[in-house]
């Protein structure tokens, strides 16, 4: 399912790539950055991954026909680019991603909880982000795509190149592993 207004953004891209691209980036920047942050565990790496994702997307869009642009599934396409860039980065760096703290998380709309609730939520977020970083890639990626990127199971299946049922099972297994880690590691 495309985000609201995505068809208008894609239509603008199809008419003129250069003038429509800014709206495309604005529509997807937060999701791409959040996904990159949860995959990489580092704000600096997430910034680089998100930037490179949009550079690659721009280059690819320049080769697309207008009809291809109008029917593009933006979120899974961008998630695929981000995921591939992250995997390439890991191969080049020869290391596992670092754990991120909540300090590295992007700003979220503030519903204005009280100070105690805010402190508790921050501690909880620190724990969950750290535990997410401990999951193996085959569990972390589907969970991040579903619960950070907001992709549907069909979109996750498209990104990972597997059936939708497998994508759903991988998300469930990842959440199960995350819960097990939480019970074991959480204070």
Q: Tell me if 1 is assigned to some domain.
A: no
Residue 58: the pLDDT is 95
Within 10 A of 114 (CB to CB), how many other CB atoms are there?
A: 8
Q: Tell me if 18 is assigned to some domain.
A: yes
> What rounded mean pLDDT belongs to the chain?
83
CA gap 73, 61 in Å, rounded:
12
Residue 102: the pLDDT is 44
Q: Tell me if 175 is assigned to some domain.
A: yes
Q: Tell me if 49 is assigned to some domain.
A: yes
Q: Tell me if 155 is assigned to some domain.
A: yes
Q: Tell me if 87 is assigned to some domain.
A: yes
* DSSP letters spanning 128-173: HHHHHHHS-HHHHHHHHHHHTS---HHHHHHHHTS-HHHHHHHHHH
Count the domains in the chain: 1
Q: Does pLDDT of 104 surpass 50?
A: no
Q: Tell me if 177 is assigned to some domain.
A: yes
pLDDT tens digits for 74-95? 999 999 999 999 999 888 877 5
Q: Tell me if 167 is assigned to some domain.
A: yes
Range of the domain at 101: 6-185
């Amino acid at each position: 399912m495309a985000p609201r207004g995505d068809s208008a953004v894609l239509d603008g891209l199809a008419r003129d790539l250069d003038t429509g691209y800014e709206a495309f980036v604005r529509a997807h920047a937060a999701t791409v950055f959040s996904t990159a942050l949860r995959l990489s565990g580092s704000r600096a790496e997430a910034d680089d991954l998100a930037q490179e994702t949009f550079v690659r997307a721009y280059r690819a869009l320049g080769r697309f026909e207008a009809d291809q642009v109008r029917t593009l599934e933006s979120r899974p396409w961008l998630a695929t680019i981000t995921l591939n860039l992250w995997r390439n980065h890991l191969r080049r760096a020869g290391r596992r991603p670092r754990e991120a703290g909540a300090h590295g998380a992007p700003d979220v709309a503030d519903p204005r909880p009280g100070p105690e609730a805010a402190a508790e939520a921050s501690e909880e977020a620190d724990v969950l982000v750290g535990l997410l970083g401990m999951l193996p890639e085959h569990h972390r990626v589907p969970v991040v795509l579903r619960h950070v990127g907001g992709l549907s199971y069909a979109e996750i299946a498209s990104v990972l190149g597997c059936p939708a049922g497998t994508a759903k099972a991988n998300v469930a297994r990842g959440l199960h592993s995350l819960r097990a880690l939480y019970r074991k590691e959480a204070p």
